[in-house]
A = this chain, B = another copy of it.
Amino acid sequence: MGRWEPGAAGRLHAAAMELYVAQGYEQTTVAEIAERAGVTPRTFFRHFGDKREVLFAGSEQIQHTMRAALGTAPADVSPMDAVGLALDAAAEMVGSDVRHSQRRQAVIEANAELRERELIKMATLAGVLSEGLVERGLGEREARLVAEAGIAVFRAGFEDWVRDPAGRELGSVLRESLGQLRGLVG
């Protein structure tokens, strides 16, 4: 169950992922997820708003984690280096269970609605980073540029890691992506 605590939420999450992978996201009902987890549909709805939310339950936590890392980055660190620290923090949070990430990614890539939801998640994350950079004194347009560049690094690196983990740490793949961007843009 990876990053999930035991208990009903963890069992529901594991059951949902198994069903999404085995029979497809569209074909899976909340009733089936609840049954497989050994709970009632009512219990499902105590933990998740709908079957899509199971896949996005960690979104706010990533936002908070990256925002906090920006907030505690030393004041003399450059904006892009501060974003690098936020990426380290994100990697620490989501990089511990590559198998879970692979399965989640496969489910999302197979469904247009989920791909859109993932885009929104990433745009929201860019907005959060951007706010944090403005608080560090950056102008709005600059903040947005650096934040979106950081999210591009996150997405490209994350997808690369999911496709081919090969014993690599997510954090170092993200660092490598950031270095690539620097070489290509600068």
Residue numbers of A with Cβ under 8 A of B are 78-80, 116, 119-120, 123, 141-142, 144-146, 148-149, 151-153, 155-157, 160, 177, 180-182, 184-186
Which of chain B's residues have a CB closer than 8 A to the CB of A151? 148
The 8 closest A-B pairs by CB, nearest first: A186-B186, A148-B152, A185-B185, A144-B156, A145-B181, A119-B119, A141-B156, A146-B184
Which of chain B's residues have a CB closer than 8 A to the CB of A148? 148-149, 151-152, 155-156
Which of chain B's residues have a CB closer than 8 A to the CB of A152? 144-145, 148-149, 152
A142 contacts which of B78, B141, B155, B184 (Cβ < 8 Å)? B184
User: In the assembly, how many copies of this chain are there?
Assistant: 2
Which of chain B's residues have a CB closer than 8 A to the CB of A160? 141
Which of chain B's residues have a CB closer than 8 A to the CB of A149? 148-149, 152, 181, 184-185
> When A145-B156, A148-B156 are in contact, do A186 and B180 touch as well, CB less than 8 Å?
no
A177 contacts which of B141, B177, B182 (Cβ < 8 Å)? B141
- Measured CB to CB, the closest approach of chain B to A159, in angstroms, equals 8
> CB distance A186 to B182 under 8 Å?
yes
- Measured CB to CB, the closest approach of chain B to A79, in angstroms, equals 6
Which of chain B's residues have a CB closer than 8 A to the CB of A119? 116, 119-120, 123
Which of chain B's residues have a CB closer than 8 A to the CB of A184? 78-80, 142, 145-146, 149
